[in-house]
Amino acid sequence: MITLKIIVLFTVIVPLHYDFCWCRCADAEYEIDGRCCPMCAPGARVYRHCTENISTTCAASPEFTYTDEPNSYTKCFTCSVCDSSRGLRVKKACRWWSDTVCEPLEQFYCTERIKGSCRNAVKHSECSAGQYIKQAGTPSTDTVCADCEADTYSNGSFSSCLPHTM
Ligand SMILES: *[C@@H]1O[C@H](CO)[C@@H](O)[C@H](O)[C@H]1NC(C)=O
Ligand SMILES: *[C@@H]1O[C@H](CO)[C@@H](O)[C@H](O)[C@H]1NC(C)=O
């Protein structure tokens, strides 16, 4: 059995911002053993810290894991799952450099959002008899119901109330 390990060497080159940072290392560097090492790019993690003469060795995130910022992690994060029991489905699959993006299922709206991804969704409310749908639910808002005026009716699924027919 041959295990193929793909190790990619990234060198992160970013302008240094000494003027507004008191830290020892530059923005795209991290400190380890008193040395400043370049961070790994999103999509990768640290495989080997840098030495005096060799830059940081980065490795791509394994399948179903990711890193979404320049980092010094030796392990990537596990991709989120869009759980249908929380009213969610996949909008964008997880990639090495970005977590899964979830969206509400059809006829659900999002109640909890983190970094542009929905964490929890709830089914749109249904209007009762005697009410009409003032505003249909969207992926981000619930249905808005309103009461019918006298002498009009709706079974709860109409977008306006209808006059009673004699
Ligand atoms: C790094 O490079 C310098 C100059 O080439 C050399 O003198 C030194 O021994 C090297 N250090 C290591 C740890 O290889
Ligand atoms: C309301 O009326 C419409 C049209 O007559 C019908 O299709 C729908 O199933 C009814 N809905 C309810 C909740 O009774």
C-alpha 86 – ligand 2 centre gap (Å): 28
Indicate the pTM of the whole model. Answer: 0.71
Q: Which residue CA neighbors atom 6 of ligand 2 most closely?
A: 157
pLDDT per position as a tens digit, 5-55:
444 444 444 444 443 445 689 989 999 989 999 999 999 999 999 999 999
Q: What is the pLDDT of residue 165?
A: 73
Q: What is the pLDDT of residue 164?
A: 82
Structure tokens belonging to residue 33: 């053993």
- Residue ranges and CATH numbers for the domains of the chain are 23-77 (2.10.50.10), 81-123 (2.10.50.10), 131-163 (no CATH)
CA-wise closest residue to 158 among 148, 166, 45 = 148
In the three-class reduction of DSSP (H, G, I as helix; E, B as strand; rest coil), residue 25 is classed as: coil
Atom from ligand 1 closest to the CA of residue 51 = 13
What phi, psi does 112 have (nearest 5°)? -150, 125
